[in-house]
Amino acid sequence: MNPLIQFKKIPILPLLIALGLVVVVAPARATPSCGFTSSNLLAPVSAGHYASGLLDLGCESEIPKWELEMKVKGDSDLYVVQNTWQPGGRTGWHTHPGPSLITVIEGTLTVYDAADRTCTPKTYTVGQSFTDIGCGDIHNIVNNTAAEAKTVVVQIVPAGQPRRIDKPAPGNCPALTCPP
């Protein structure tokens, strides 16, 4: 071996582990909302509170083919909110710790759901309703029109938890950025 070229033995496995930790520890960046506001319609009370067991509901209606089953373990908070999007506004990618029942009361909204492999957008207009199961279901709701859009939402979340949890943009969905 040429005496001018010397190699030091460097343990490669610890080096790779250390580099892997640097990549894993780096925080994922949440996407911002823009042109979007949310107001609590139960003000000045922020939420209705239901003790564990009070949301254990079930009935078979006298109306054929309609029944209700709902069982919630643990204390829950109920929110009724109005969300407003300006033209081009978006919620940013997020989830909720519990379900949301959403009704469009003005305008048109487009929902992008990260659970859909193709992230195919779904559009909802005035009078249409949709649900969001929450519990980790990541989505972004966008107003792609030139007019304001609004929803009324009923949310049930575990007591004391935030209504919204921001998330980074999923890799299977289009980049949805705020307009300049």
With a pLDDT cut of 70, the percent of the chain lying above it is 82
With left for phi above 0 and alpha for psi between -120 and 50, is residue 7 left, alpha or beta? Answer: beta
Q: Is the pLDDT of residue 30 over 60?
A: yes
Mean pLDDT of 56-70: 88
Pairing type for strands 94-95 and 100-106 reads unpaired
* Contacts of residue 130, Cβ cutoff 8 Å, sequence gap at least 6: 102, 111, 122, 124
Q: What is the pLDDT of residues 137-153, one digit of tens each?
A: 999 999 999 999 999 99
Confidence of residue 43 (pLDDT cuts 50, 70, 90): low
Please name each of the domains of the chain with its CATH number. Answer: 31-166 (2.60.120.10)
**DSSP character for 91?**
-
Residues 73-114 pLDDT 10s = 999 999 999 999 999 999 999 999 999 999 999 999 999 999
The three-point CA angle 28-30-36 to 5° equals 175
Q: Phi then psi for 73, rounded to 5 degrees?
A: -95, 135
Q: What is the pLDDT of residues 5-16, one digit of tens each?
A: 443 444 443 333
Say what the pLDDT of residue 27 is.
43
d(CA 98, CA 37): 20
Measured between alpha carbons, how far is 98 from 157 in angstroms, rounded to an integer?
5
